[in-house]
Amino acid sequence: MNLSNGKTLAASGQNRNGTSGSWEDAGRVVKPSTPTRKPQPPKPENAVTIAVSSRVLFNMEPEQQYLKYQVEHENEPFSPGPAFSFVKALEAVNTRLRELYPQSEELFDVVLVTNNHAHVGLRLINTINHHHLFIERFCMTGGNSPIGYLKAYHTNLYLSADSAKVREALEEGIAAATMFTQEKMKEVSESQLRVAFDGDGVLFSDESERIFKAHGLDKFFEHEKAHENKPLDHGPLKGFLEALGKLQRKFFDKGLRMDCPIRTYLVTARSAASSGAPKGPMLEKIRPHIFFDDQMFHVEGAAELGTVACHVPYGIAQKVAKK
């Protein structure tokens, strides 16, 4: 298969303990040899769809460009990347949802997105099987923009190591964040999904952030006081939070408010320092699977203490950072 002609490849399949999957290119199909077994994935319009780049789900950067190496090591799995524990937690929530609502399609649905060669796709499928991940949707873009696919899948969140693609997704109204490979990652819960968000520029508009950057902390407090009864406009990840809330309510409806396997946190700070107080120590206590912030100061600080932190390149914070 030759990707140099700019073709977009798509793939679909099922896996875990007897999985089938395929990467398709102009009618030619390459398949692993294991039989199909798992139920069909939910329809995209019913699911909470998480699109994850192969480079953040697995650690594959050191060798991903060497096709010959990938073919020779086809049966050697990639090691887990920064998004791995997050995806495993999504699966744990799905298990609980299926127990409570056997016929419901309101589940997390993970789509693996990659621009690698199809032969690398075989290694990815083998890796998914090795780690017992339940991922049935694969999208190989051949280096093209993933936006069309993200829209077709009604994507609620896109995670990628490619900041340019993340910015493109945000510009198209798709919740997205840049994820980084980091040396230290704290152990996190295997049974409860924990997601932490910054406020301004992530869940909410950066209106308050603009006041703070332009006029300082005193004017910021004056503005907040004057507008305390007016809700902030939505930010780029508000829709994703709402999708999480929709699934949380399914547990609440069964009387499981205290035993809900989805927890969300708002972690925000404001001080006289231009970037605010450090959030890393608080996140170290919460131990979320993933944390979103629009300022690299907080992303880097969280990562240093072992939290998987993602950058949301949105709003005034990005303009200030470029100066």
User: What are the residue numbers of the active site?
Assistant: 198
* Tokens found for residue 109: 């649905």
| Distance of alpha carbon 279 from alpha carbon 124, whole angstroms | 34
Q: What is the 3-state secondary structure (H, E, C) of 196-265?
A: EECCECCCECCHHHHHHHHHCHHHHHHHHHHCCCCCCCECCCHHHHHHHHHHHHHHHCCCCCCCCCEEEE
| Of 222, 183, 227, 226, residue with least CA distance to 204 | 227
What is the amino acid identity at position 239? G
| Of 289, 290, 249, residue with least CA distance to 97 | 249
Token pair 């339940």 in the structure block, residue? 134
* Tokens found for residue 54: 């192969």
* Tokens found for residue 30: 């390459």
Say if strands 290-293 and 309-311 run parallel, antiparallel, or are unpaired. Answer: parallel
CA dihedral 302, 304, 306, 312 (to 10 degrees): 40
